[in-house]
Chain A
Amino acid sequence: MSLKTNNEVFTEVIVGLFMTAVLGVLIYFTIIISGVEVFGGKSKVPVTVLFHDVGGLKERDSVVLRGMPVGSVNAMQLQNSGVRVTLSVQRDVVFKEGYVITVCSGSLLGGNYLLIEEGAGAALPAGTTLTGQSPKNWMRDLGEIVGKLKEATEGDRIKQILVNVEDASSSIKALAARVEGGKGTLGKLFAEDNALYNDLSNTVANLKSVTGKIDSGTNSLGRLLNDDGGVYADLSASIANLKAISGRLEKGEGTMGKLLSSDDTIYRDLQETMARVKSVAVRLDNGEGSLGKLMKDDNKVYNDLDATVANLKQVTDRLAKGEGTLGKLSADEQLYNDVHGLVKDVRQTVDNFRDTTPISAFASLIMGGL
């Protein structure tokens, strides 16, 4: 075997080696950045996940962590109550307590990927069989919604909805006509007549004036807003007073304080008083006692009093007219004098009788002994 010692051939071999190497590097890099790992790439470990339903997940689908692909689905196998999925995941992905593994849809047209959330608890030991969450079935959910819609719109309901829409359309049309005709506030706003605009403009001018006064502090509100601290000090003092009052109330001082305090003596006194008032009111209502009888519904006492008053009036009328003995006594002065003289005479007689009584008694004794 002999390779001709030809510099030209040697150069060609070197150039060929270089070109082949360049082509190899290009192929390697274009395949690597395509996502296919020719020489194994990062070290990966198998992870087993149990699903009840994988929702169309397929082998070689991506495994994504925080939006970044970290592995792929290696194998899937049916089990008694679900599907056993074996993943190939980068070694640095650590599953912790609270992890979530979900099958997600890549797009509406299909395609799935497995989304991993590692969790935040303690790290799970390597080789732990994980549990995945079943994916949402879009088509089934959509079917249910359509079914409900169909149920809601069956029979005459659509017709009724259309009638309502038609009515609403008529109302809107009428409303638009009113607006177009310049009726109502909205119509006036759209109308060419600028009265409302002028009113609004004037209102805004007034508001501007008011805010100007407030800003300049020429009215009460302005003074409040522009005060240099006097009102604030007064308010502060008032609040301090209120605070003191509330403190006293809280301590149970004064009548209000006692009313608000936990000591319920006044309350109990009031309760007792109210009970008594209630008892009196019951008795009054039942017509017991003089006041009760007066308040009773039958007018017996009232009638008796009325009759008595009438009699008294009649008596006083007769007295005023000088009728009867008493009337004559009150009206006739001669009779008064006669009676007065009679009384004097009787008094004198009685005095005389009193003076003569011992003599009479002695004479009776003597006369009786005889």
Chain B
Amino acid sequence: MSQTNAIEARHTIKAFGQGDSAHRALDDVSITIRKGEFFTLLGPSGCGKTTLLRLIAGFEMPTAGDILIDGAEVTDLPPNKRPVNTVFQSYALFPHLTVAENVGFALKMLGRPKAEVAEVTARMLALVKLEHLAGRKTAQLSGGQQQRVALARALAPHPKVLLLDEPLSALDLKLRKEMQVELKRLQMETGITFVFVTHDQEEALTMSDRIGVMSAGKLQQVGSPREIYTRPVNRFVASFIGETNFLPAKPVAGGVKLGCGAVVEAEGEGHTLTVRPEQLRLVAANEPGAIAATVENLVYFGTDTHLNLRLSDGEALVARVQSPPTGDAGFAMGQAVGVTFLPGAARLIRD
């Protein structure tokens, strides 16, 4: 028997509004999230990722399609009947309750004995390292502490799936980095499936086991961070995650022909060649096999230097080279250079 999945959404459609003005926030999305994985829904605002999360939580009902949690159909169940809990973007902590009462809320609602509520609450507070604040009101806490209370509160009933709706967006950069590590640790320790929603590609790449990239209500690609970064399936994924060069290309014998006339090797199919800036090598202008280019501009970023190049047919290309100890990458504006791609770096995609 195959293992059941934590979440399964089948041909899910969510439309807001009526008739002609109806807007499909989710347009026929099917997705499978495995048990115990850290799954991230990544996309720009308005792409439907939060809507999908709210459908899983039960705050919205799908216009069409089914949602299964742990193999059981939950499409028509209200949120309080679903074995999932949510960490809200605004935390939504109960202001009239103490930290401990917030954390124990779900178990109390489930009618668990007092001793069990107290025991689990203490364990959860220890898990997020807030034992010393158990008696405080939530308004007296800092943003980072509120975040931890929200996490402990959602984890206390030991849900099958924990849903996190951009929980780190309100924190400053340093705290955000800390919480990223913290979240990953919590996920490992509890073994609970995490579904994390974010628009921050770096957050997605560093924390996730798998990422689902969304745009315009559709799921564009699902894969591990490495797959998503190295093998984007379309222009949206390639440009949304990291920086990428796009060049029109025509398949010919022995590779593809670029607009400037150069023939290079590339994997995949399609009429657009993609290559990451850090996968380019700059060589002498007259080196055989190299594509001729002119340096138009140099931008120093500390660890590396970005070079804006122009090919002979007018196409722009960005290269990223590591800065040497002197900081001077050794290029000047207007200089003629040769460009080569690292083996396997160039990929063709369909738009």
- Whether chain B is bound by chain A comes out as no
B residues lining the A interface (CB < 8 Å): none
A residues lining the B interface (CB < 8 Å): none
